[in-house]
């Protein structure tokens, strides 16, 4: 673990990866004056650093030499809500679902472009800094007014069923973050519906038909195949 | 083979044996024949002189020779002489003869009777032998014809049993070596083989000599064992149980059985050789595929690596003198190539997983529209505003599929449609539901694929020979095929009326996937 001092005001990023080349590349790419970068090469060091440094974002590789990355997420989530972005070569949906269910905020598959990573970091930081959600969520032509329970597209109110509204509200409150199928099912329908994924599919499909211009090319509610859904936010 | 085509040889053989060993009834018939002739002659006696009746008795002898065989005919000749003398030569009802001239008549009648009998019998025997030979030949012909038509060992053995059972009325078994042991590969129903029979079969197999009934070895057995010999090795043993093997005509039958054995050996050898040739062919095909695979892999991996290495080297070496525009250009090339490399590695991994059967479908109820949306999303940048028309029936139910894999299929197909057709032409995606399942069609207005090549587009490393600058891994469509087939579905390509290519995939949908959703 290495700590850089004198940059207290900058957002702190903890990079957890045992690959020296990746650490070097991320240090070069991110240590550009916008962030204060901290590094850890295994799970134990990462857990200690998460407590000591109190990072604003954690970039976490899943394949760590000592403990599995998902375990690291679980342990951090026991006491902290710091945004965790997984960076991993594991591209199977199973791994993604496990990471998200454990509490990861985002998942980037290696190899990734630095631009993509920076965008994800920005979204995560925004979310971590803004503790109280905005009462009105806006993206492109969609507006969700939470206090008034009002959804409009292009200024026109869209009538939603209570379930559809709840679903949208859940996505809005986690805007930009992937919500796994089981998370959504548990939240909206309760634990008894975990094995009834078609309920979710049908409601998402209906919701899209109401708020998306072209349901075949959704702009707001994005599907993470095999994992879950994510409400798009402005980059 | 038709049932009428193989007249059994066995009855002929049996009948022929009957010729040699006339039964008591044949002799009785000869007696009756002579008696009847005598009665007839008695009727015409007032009108004919006795000497003419000799002709009637000769006729009886000929009849006996034709119908009853040599010995009854001789008996008929002898009785005929006696009856003629007794009934018609004066003094009647006595064997004494008043006229010595009749002695010559008796002698002539007897000798002519015997000569005619033996001539007729020999002629009959010759005809029978000919007929038998013809039947043997035709049964051999039928066997060889059916053997030639039999593909594979099981069919061949079934043919052997059926043919020999029909033509010889025999029970049989064929022993073939299986893993160092000689096993009964096929046998007639009801034929029971003891362990002693197995032992004889093994002896015959090892010594390459016939054994069992009518041979020098194990002659006490009721079965006949004939080794099935190929040039260098013994292929097995034919075992036959003939009910009538005890009769004297064994030599003839042995020859026939030997001929059968030769036919079977040849057929077995043919099957063995063709299987060997087939295996060699498969082996060769696999080798050439592997070579193509390695060549392709090393080419596809090295080319982007070469570019990346070159670019990075150039940037590193001339970091001071390169202008920013040039550097940017170089680096963009490198990153493009890196992306290509990444896609190729991903494809290779997918292909390997599919081929190893390591892909487990994670079936979920899927919204087809969502699948298409997810497939279009990563292509958005490439498509760059290109028109993609999606036509779905309005009441499409959720279908149970592995969404991730199916999206991958769609991405590959849409990407191909995009790459191989002009950007101003639209890409169309249709979906429909039928009894066979869910069909998805991805159609473009590109050049299509030559009809002869259509079947090959799903082969590994096949690249459609078209526009320049179109690069692919040659794996995309084979991955699609693998995924669709893992779903129990099928995928095909066809040229469209009016130009362009259409990819059609059909996946079966299970009953559960169509269930209504009533929770909102």
Cβ distance A226 to B374 less than 8 Å, yes or no, reads no
Nearest to B403 among A204, A206, A226 (CB): A226
Whether the Cβ atoms of residue B165 and residue B7 lie closer than 8 Å to each other: no
Average pLDDT score, chain B: 82
**How far is the CA of A20 from the CAs of A42, A122, B3, B458, in angstroms?**
12, 24, 81, 41
Average pLDDT over every residue of B350-356: 83
Question: Under an 8 A CB cutoff, do A225 and B407 touch?
Answer: yes
Scanning B377-514, the segments in alpha helix (DSSP H) are 380-383, 403-419, 476-486
User: Cα–Cα distance between A40 and A44 in angstroms, integer?
Assistant: 9
Provide the mean pLDDT of chain A: 89
Contacts of A223 in chain B (CB under 8 A): 370, 373-374, 377
- Check CB contact under 8 Å for A199 and B519: yes
Chain A positions touching B335 (Cβ under 8 A) are 113
Chain A residues touching chain B at CB-CB below 8 Å: 91, 93-94, 111, 113, 161, 163, 189, 193, 196-199, 201-206, 208, 215-218, 222-223, 225-226
Q: In what side-by-side order are the strands of the sheet with B171-178?
A: B181-187, B171-178, B234-241, B224-229, B211-212
As a whole number of angstroms, the distance between CA B135 and CA B149 comes to: 21
CA distances from A2 to A23, A45, A86, A151 (A): 12, 10, 20, 47
Q: Which 3-state string (H, E, C) describes B412-441? A: HHHHHHHHCCCCCCCEEEEEEEECCEEEEE
Residue of A94, A101, A90, A181 lying closest to B360 (CA atoms): A94
Distance CA B514, CA B509 (A): 8
- The answer on pLDDT for B5 being more than 70 is no
Taking only the tens place, the pLDDT of each residue in B292-347 is: 777 777 777 888 888 898 888 888 887 777 788 888 888 888 988 898 888 888 88
**Per-residue pLDDT, A62:** 92
What pLDDT is stored for residue A160 in this prediction? Answer: 93
Residue B397's closest chain A neighbor by CA?
A: A202
pTM across the whole model: 0.60
pLDDT, mean of residues A143-157: 92
* Chain A closest-CA separation from residue B303 CA (Å): 18
Instruction: In whole angstroms, give the CA distance from residue B515 to residue B397.
Output: 8
Whether complex ipTM tops 0.85: no
Reference B88, options B125, B49, B59, B60; nearest CA is B49
pLDDT, tens only, B136-186: 888 888 888 888 888 888 888 888 888 888 887 788 899 988 888 888 888
Q: For residue B286, give the H/E element and its range.
A: helix B250-317
Contact B373 A196 (CB under 8 A): no
In angstroms, the separation between the Cα of residue A208 and the nearest Cα of chain B is 10
pLDDT at B310: 87
Residues of B whose CB is below 8 A from A200: none
- B473 band by pLDDT with thresholds 50, 70 and 90: low
Option in A189, A202, A223 nearest B398 (CB): A202
Q: Could A216 and B390 be called an inter-chain contact, meaning their C-beta atoms sit closer than 8 Å?
A: yes
Q: Using the beta-carbon criterion (under 8 Å), do A225 and B372 form an inter-chain contact?
A: no
Evaluate if residue B465 carries a pLDDT over 70: no
pLDDT tens per residue across span A202-235: 999 999 999 998 888 889 999 988 899 999 887 5
Preferred mutation among B343, B372, B374 to probe A, highest tally of A CBs within 10 A:
B374
Closest chain B CA to residue A110? B342
pLDDT confidence of residue A1:
46
CA of A35 vs chain B CAs: smallest distance (Å): 25
Question: Measured between CB atoms, which of B346, B374, B392 is closest to A223?
Answer: B374
Evaluate if residue A156 carries a pLDDT over 90: yes
Spell out where B111-207 has E strands. Answer: 171-178, 181-187
- Exposed/middle/buried for B202, CB within 10 Å: 0-12, 13-18, 19+? middle
pLDDT beyond 90 at A74: yes
Instruction: Show the tokens assigned to B312.
Output: 């990075």
State phi, psi for A43 to the nearest 5 degrees: -65, -45
Q: Which of A23-27, A138-142, B450-454 has the weakest average pLDDT?
A: B450-454
Instruction: Tell me the residues of B at the A interface, defined by beta carbons under 8 Å apart.
Output: 335, 338, 342, 346, 362, 364-367, 369-370, 372-374, 376-377, 380, 390, 392, 398, 402-404, 407, 515, 517, 519-520
């Amino acid at each position: 673990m290495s700590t850089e001092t004198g940059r207290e005001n900058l957002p702190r990023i903890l990079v957890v990866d045992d690959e020296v080349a990746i650490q070097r590349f991320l240090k070069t790419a991110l240590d550009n004056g916008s962030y204060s970068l901290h590094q850890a090469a295994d799970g134990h060091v990462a857990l200690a650093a998460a407590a000591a440094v109190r990072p604003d974002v954690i970039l976490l590789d899943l394949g760590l030499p000592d403990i599995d990355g998902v375990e690291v997420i679980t342990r951090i989530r026991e006491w902290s809500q710091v945004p965790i972005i997984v960076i991993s070569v594991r591209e199977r949906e199973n791994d993604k679902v496990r990471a998200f269910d454990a509490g990861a905020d985002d998942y980037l598959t290696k190899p990734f472009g630095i631009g993509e990573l920076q965008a994800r970091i920005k979204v995560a930081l925004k979310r971590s800094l803004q503790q109280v959600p905005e009462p009105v969520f806006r993206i492109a032509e969609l507006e969700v007014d939470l206090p008034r329970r009002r959804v409009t597209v292009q200024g026109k109110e869209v009538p939603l069923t209570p379930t559809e509204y709840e679903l949208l509200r859940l996505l809005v409150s986690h805007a930009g973050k992937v919500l796994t199928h089981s998370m959504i099912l548990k939240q909206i329908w309760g634990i008894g519906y975990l094995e009834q994924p078609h309920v979710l599919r049908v409601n998402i499909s209906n919701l899209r038909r109401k708020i998306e211009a072209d349901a075949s090319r959704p702009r707001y509610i994005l599907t993470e195949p095999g994992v879950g859904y994510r409400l798009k936010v402005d980059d | 083979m038709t049932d009428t085509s193989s007249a059994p040889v066995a009855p002929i053989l049996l009948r022929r044996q009957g010729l040699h060993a006339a039964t008591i009834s044949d002799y009785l018939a000869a007696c009756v024949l002579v008696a009847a002739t005598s009665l007839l002659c008695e009727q015409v006696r007032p009108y004919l002189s006795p000497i003419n009746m000799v002709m009637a008795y000769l006729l009886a002898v000929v009849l006996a020779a034709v119908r009853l065989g040599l010995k009854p005919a001789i008996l008929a000749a002898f009785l005929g002489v006696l009856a003629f003398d007794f009934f018609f030569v004066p003094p009647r009802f006595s064997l004494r003869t008043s006229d010595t001239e009749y002695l010559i008549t008796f002698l002539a009648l007897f000798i002519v009777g015997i000569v005619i009998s033996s001539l007729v019998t020999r002629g009959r025997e010759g005809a029978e032998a000919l007929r038998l030979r013809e039947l043997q030949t035709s049964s051999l012909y039928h066997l060889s014809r059916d053997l030639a038509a039999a593909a594979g060992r099981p069919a061949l053995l079934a043919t052997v049993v059926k043919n020999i059972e029909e033509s010889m009325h025999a029970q049989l078994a064929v022993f073939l070596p299986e893993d160092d042991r000689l096993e009964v590969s096929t046998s007639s129903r009801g034929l029971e083989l003891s362990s002693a029979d197995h032992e004889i079969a093994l002896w015959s197999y090892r010594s390459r000599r016939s054994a069992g009934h009518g041979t020098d070895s194990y002659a006490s057995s009721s079965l006949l064992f004939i080794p099935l010999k190929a040039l260098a090795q013994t292929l097995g043993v034919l075992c036959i149980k003939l009910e009538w093997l005890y009769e004297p005509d064994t030599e003839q039958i042995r020859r026939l059985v030997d001929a059968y054995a030769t036919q079977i050996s040849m057929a077995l050898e043919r099957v063995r050789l063709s299987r060997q040739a087939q295996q060699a062919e498969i082996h060769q095909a696999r080798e050439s595929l592997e070579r193509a695979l390695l060549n392709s892999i090393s080419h596809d991996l090295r080319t982007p690596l070469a570019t990346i290495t070159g670019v990075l080297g150039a940037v590193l070496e001339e970091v001071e003198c390169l202008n920013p525009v040039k550097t940017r250009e170089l680096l963009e090339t490198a990153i493009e190539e890196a992306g290509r490399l990444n896609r190729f590695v991903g494809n290779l991994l997918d292909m390997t997983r599919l081929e190893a059967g390591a892909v487990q479908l994670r079936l979920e109820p899927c919204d087809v529209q969502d699948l298409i949306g997810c497939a279009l999303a990563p292509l958005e940048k490439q498509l760059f505003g290109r028109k993609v028309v999606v036509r779905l029936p309005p009441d499409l139910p959720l279908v149970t599929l592995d969404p991730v894999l199916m999206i991958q299929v769609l991405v590959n197909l849409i990407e191909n449609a995009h790459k191989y057709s002009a950007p101003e032409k639209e890409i169309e995606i249709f979906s429909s539901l039928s009894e066979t399942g869910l069909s998805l069609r991805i159609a473009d207005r590109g050049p299509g694929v030559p009809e002869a090549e259509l079947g090959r587009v799903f082969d590994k490393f096949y690249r459609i020979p078209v526009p320049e600058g179109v690069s692919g891994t040659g794996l995309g469509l084979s991955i699609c095929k693998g995924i669709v087939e893992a779903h129990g579905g099928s995928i095909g390509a066809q040229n469209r009326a009016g130009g362009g290519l259409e990819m059609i995939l059909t996946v079966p949908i299970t009953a559960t996937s169509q269930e209504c959703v009533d929770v909102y």
